[in-house]
Amino acid sequence: MKASIVGEKVILVPYMKEHVPKYHEWMQNPALLEATASEPLTLDQEYEMQVSWTQDPLKQTFIVLDKELVDGEFCHGDPHTEAMVGDVNIYMNDLDDAKVAEVEIMIAETKSRGKGVGKESVLMMMAFAVENFGIQAFQAKIGESNTASISLFQKLGFEKISHSDIFKEVTLKLEMSKSKCEELYRLTDTAMTYF
Ligand SMILES: CC(C)(COP(=O)(O)OP(=O)(O)OC[C@H]1O[C@@H](n2cnc3c(N)ncnc32)[C@H](O)[C@@H]1OP(=O)(O)O)[C@@H](O)C(=O)NCCC(=O)NCCS
């Protein structure tokens, strides 16, 4: 069983096959496809994707649960599909530097937006990546018109490092200096990880 992380507002759980139908439903929404630069998949392809993401050593994916929506007590290993509202990923896909990870966040359920769920999910993902994979810098590639997402990452200390006219996206980066790591641990020190 992969890790689950329990924070103040969110619980990050591994992407399990039980999550796929809802995830697939989200990814029929053209606005979400555009915001996440994704292609629509069939349900079968989504199941294949769930398996490949789980097995890919360069990728770490969590489903975001909104704690307010969890039925009863949280149980590590239970998918808690009733509370799934989005996902958060890192890809360690930088060929020049294995210690750089690209981070992505999606809060698909609009009822769970605007209450700090996305921000806390990214912080917990980053703390997990620093501790477990020794990540030293994070990057985020975001559509140039996605002001909500750009603002979220800037609030976390990310800075713009480039802009692509072709892809109409900006790249933001955060170097994890010693003081940034200390700040990250302080912000996430009440989170509990279950393996
Ligand atoms: C962008 C997104 C992840 C924000 O998630 P969220 O849980 O609603 O965000 P939070 O409540 O944690 O907000 C954190 C910060 O993000 C920014 N933000 C969030 N929603 C915003 C909005 N509608 N307009 C402007 N800024 C916004 C703010 O800076 C906010 O800080 P504040 O609360 O101090 O003002 C979410 O709206 C989403 O998933 N959108 C669609 C998919 C997407 O764009 N993914 C990013 C691709 S890289």
CB 8 within 8 Å of CB 192 = no
Model pLDDT, residue 181: 94
149 close to ligand 1 (CB < 6 Angstrom): yes
**What's the pLDDT tens digit per position in 142-182?**
999 999 999 999 999 999 999 999 999 999 999 999 999 99
CA of 152 to the centre of ligand 1 (A): 5
Residue with tokens 């294995």: 98
Rounded Cα distance, 78 and 28, in Å: 25
24 close to ligand 1 (CB < 6 Angstrom): no
Model pLDDT, residue 1: 65
Nearest protein Cα to ligand 1, atom 25: 148
Angle at 86 between CA 81 and CA 92, to 5 degrees: 120
**Spatial CA neighbour of 105 closest among 131, 140, 68:** 140
Q: Which residues pair with 77 in a beta bridge?
A: none
Model pLDDT, residue 95: 87
Ligand 1 nearest-atom number relative to CA 147: 25
145 close to ligand 1 (CB < 6 Angstrom): no
Average pLDDT for consecutive 10-residue bins of the chain (195 residues)?
92 97 96 91 96 94 97 96 98 91 97 97 96 96 94 97 95 95 92 90
DSSP 3-state assignment of 48?
Answer: helix
Model pLDDT, residue 37: 87
CB 164 within 8 Å of CB 195 = no
146 close to ligand 1 (CB < 6 Angstrom): yes
14 close to ligand 1 (CB < 6 Angstrom): no
CA of 44 to the centre of ligand 1 (A): 30
Tell me 156's DSSP state: T
DSSP 3-state assignment of 125?
Answer: helix
147 close to ligand 1 (CB < 6 Angstrom): yes
Model pLDDT, residue 59: 95
Rounded Cα distance, 186 and 6, in Å: 15
Q: What is the pTM of this model?
A: 0.96
